[in-house]
Amino acid sequence: MANMALKKVPMPEQQPEVRNHNFEEVAQGYTAEMAIEEATRCLQCKNSPCVAGCPVNVQIPAFISRMAQGDFAGAYAQIAQTNALPAICGRVCPQENQCEGKCVRGIKGEPVAIGRLERFAADWQMKNGKETIQKPVSNGHRVAVVGAGPAGLTCAGDLAKLGYQVTVFEALHAPGGVLLYGIPEFRLPKDIVAKEVGKLEELGVEIQTDMVIGRVDSVDELLEQGYEAVFIGSGAGLPSFMHIEGEDLLGVYSANEYLTRINLMKAYREGYDTPIAHSKAVAVVGGGNVAMDAARCAKRMGAEQVYIVYRRSMEELPARAEEVHHAIAEGIVFKLLHNPVKILGDENGYVKAIECVEMELGEPDASGRRRPLVKEGSNFLVEVDTVIMAIGTSPNPLIRSTTTGLEANKRGCLIAQENGATTKEGVFAGGDTVTGAATVILAMGAGKTAAQAIDEYIQSKAK
Ligand code: FAD
Ligand code: SF4
Ligand code: SF4
């Protein structure tokens, strides 16, 4: 008999007034008892609508059924069949729009906490499991992967499992992509990313860091060196700005730069003298996950006042619901229906205030969201010493400008078919570099699809 409780088993968390002073993980994970209790809320639906919401096809009822019986190793094995990074997905997937968004328990009450259960299984396995990874027998074919983010790592892992000799070229000094330099430690501990990457290396994937493709070697040169196919998973790391007056003042950051200084360059740790503003009052412009992360980091770095400035209302906020709740609980102030028009500086060129206007929502625009309209004469100043722009990113043009025959659309995203094939033979692409800034799980799904297409491409040429 299923457990018919309407609410999910609550997730143990650090208290807001404690956690907004440290970088340790906020959500602390279920205990075994909690995981079993939550697993019994699953109705084991025959048509399993939740699975259709998962871009990597995790067999959700099957893993949850094992979990309900206390078979955590079996639950993990089931997830690992289709998901190479479960400890990460369990933490950062926007489940409310994916698997949990389709769960029938969500019709009346809260959906089954699929993400939390997936996280539990992966963490349990890391702590207790005796997974011995068998290095597959080589099939003698070589593939190059550009970028060690979720798209590149998933593609590399799937190809390695099929026996390909895979080399990943990563521009930064460590693999992980946004998982490493973007998403903060308090949402995704970096040792978890390192462990997941370690499993791929055990499979035989070679990762070469400090290799900026387009500078060291081009994609064309990789093909000339004997790689039979190249997968491009170089993300969308080029930040956008508003092009308003004052954006060149000292104390204005892109969210990418701010988060990279904190996460990758460890600005929050004692003993690291990473240059970063030690701000008192911060305005973060934007309403996505990136904006929430930047705001919550600023608070933890010691800022007394942190504002989210977003031009639409709470309903349109694109960030994960859980992260918005966490940010509010941590004392971040939401200035909704507000838009910056100017940043003001002091006599030394440092930010001293941001000028905003009030907005109201009109008819829906092309994106389907209601268009924000300026309320004339509503200008006002907010005193801040730091402004962080989190209004979106696009792919860096380096790769497309150094590769022959690779086409991109107007937004600078590589043009690729559904299977990842680009306009250049033997070159595949997926993740944010194709879609623009999206989600970890969509990037992983694209890496997975492309791995299959690369296998078919190489095998058809070998015949
Ligand atoms: P990336 O993760 O960007 O990885 C690309 C890699 O390619 C990087 O390591 C980069 O250094 C490397 N690279 C770039 N150019 C080159 C080159 N020329 N040569 C070699 N290497 C190169 N998604 C969620 O699902 N949930 C969240 O909670 C969430 N939070 C986010 C928070 C932040 C702050 C950010 C920035 C994004 C967040 N996202 C979230 C989005 C998600 O992280 C991305 O959609 C996902 O990482 C895209 O994966 P990717 O592999 O395509 O690219
Ligand atoms: Fe849900 Fe993400 Fe896990 Fe798929 S990978 S089941 S979308 S949490
Ligand atoms: Fe279980 Fe919900 Fe999936 Fe049904 S839809 S099988 S209740 S997780």
What pTM, to 2 d.p., does this model score?
0.94
Could you tell me the distance, in angstroms and rounded to a whole number, from the CA of residue 122 to the centre of ligand 2?
12
Report how far residue 21's alpha carbon sits from residue 268's, in angstroms, rounded to the nearest whole number.
Answer: 11
By most ligand atoms within 8 Å of CB, the mutation choice from 289, 320, 441 for ligand 1 is 289
- Give percent of the chain with pLDDT exceeding 70: 100
Ligand 1: does its nearest atom lie under 6 Å from the Cβ of 148?
yes
User: Are residues 395 and 412 in contact, defined by beta-carbon separation less than 8 angstroms?
Assistant: yes
Q: Note the pLDDT of residue 267.
A: 84
Predicted pLDDT of residue 13: 94
Q: Alpha-carbon dihedral of residues 188, 189, 193, 194, nearest 10 degrees?
A: 170
Confidence of residue 135 (pLDDT cuts 50, 70, 90): confident
Beta carbons within 10 angstroms of residue 379's beta carbon = 13
Q: Is 359 in the pocket of ligand 1 (CB under 6 A)?
A: no
399 lines ligand 1 (CB under 6 A): yes
End-to-end alpha carbon distance in the chain: 54
* Ligand 1 atom at minimal distance to the Cα of residue 442: 45
Please give the C-alpha separations between residue 280 and each of 248, 284, 338, in angstroms, as whole numbers.
19, 13, 21
Cα of 341 vs centre of ligand 1, distance in Å, is 29
Nearest to 446 by CA among 433, 458, 457, 459: 433
Distance of CA 455 to the CA centre of its chain: 26
Residue 434 makes CB contacts below 8 A (sequence gap 6+) with: 413, 414, 415, 416, 420, 446
**What lines the ligand 2 site, CB under 6 Å?**
54, 56, 58, 60, 83, 89-90, 93, 95, 98-99, 114-115, 118, 441
Confidence of residue 230 (pLDDT cuts 50, 70, 90): very high
- Given the CA of residue 234, which atom of ligand 1 is nearest to it? 7
89: CA distance to ligand 2 center in Å?
6
- Out of 85, 98, 100, 179, give the residue to mutate to test ligand 2, the one with the largest number of ligand atoms within 8 Å of its CB: 98
User: How confident is the model over 237-293, as pLDDT tens digits?
Assistant: 999 999 999 999 999 999 999 999 999 888 888 888 888 888 999 999 999 999 999
- State residue 95's pLDDT score: 93
Report the alpha-carbon distance of residue 83 to residue 77 in Å, rounded: 10
pLDDT at 132 over 80: no
pLDDT value of position 321? 86
Asked whether residue 51 carries a pLDDT value surpassing 90, the answer given is yes
pLDDT of residue 59: 98
Q: Which two tokens stand for residue 105?
A: 């328990």
Cα radius of gyration rounded to whole Å, the chain: 23
For the Cβ of 289 lying below 6 angstroms from any atom of ligand 1, the answer is yes
Confidence of residue 127 (pLDDT cuts 50, 70, 90): very high
Nearest-atom index, ligand 2, CA of 93 = 2
Nearest-CA residue for ligand 2 atom 5 is 89
Could you say which ligand is closest to the alpha carbon of residue 442? 1
Ligand 1 binding pocket includes 150 (Cβ within 6 Å)? yes
Ligand 2, atom 8, residue with closest C-alpha: 115
